[in-house]
Structure 1
Amino acid sequence: MTSIDMSRKYVDFYDKLKNSDAVCSVGFAYNPDDEHVNGIIRTIIDRDNKRLYVIDIDSVEESDKRNALALKKQENLAKKLKVINRNNIIYIIVNGDRLGDQDKIWTDIL
């Protein structure tokens, strides 16, 4: 159980995500210890039908391999979060230069 103050902060966090066009995640691991946040993200994806864009770094240079990696990561995160609407999870895989598909900077892709 958490304090009333923290509960209010979680509700405020959820409300802000719900009112957004989409959610972008950079560097969040979605670990089991973060279930309080994972639950909010799960609700945003499944109930509120928001897209979650996950920015992730990998050294894969070829676009087709990057796309295959993104699909595998999408599947794994959907299982980890226990979401039904896995198509609302979109991975943007970037290389060390922060470039993703078609050699665009990830912020331009987003």
Structure 2
Amino acid sequence: MLLPLFGFVFGVVASTLLGATVIALHPRWKLTFTNIAWFVGGAFAGAVGSSLLYTRVFADDNQLLQSTAAVIGFLATLGAATLLGGTLAVHMGQRFGSRAA
């Protein structure tokens, strides 16, 4: 019963750490709560979209990934989509947020 909650908390913590690393390494971005929030939101959207697309393409009729290669591919795609979604969200937040201010 608590497993989905643990998964959600783990995902948020992992996205926060990944976001803090990416934002700290970027030369123009500042490590702020707003940027981390943008990153986590974008990472969540990227992970959900990636999961839906990957299972639609590679899963069987019961929405199951049958091979080890399919599961490893899913995890790799999930990581890449999390990174891309979070980075894109911070970029868009920086780009449109600075014009609105």
> By the TM > 0.5 criterion, same fold?
no
Relative CO higher for 1 or 2, CA cutoff 8 Å, sep ≥ 6? 2
Flag the structure with higher strand content: 1
| TM superposition score normalised by structure 1 | 0.27
Flag the structure with higher helix content: 2
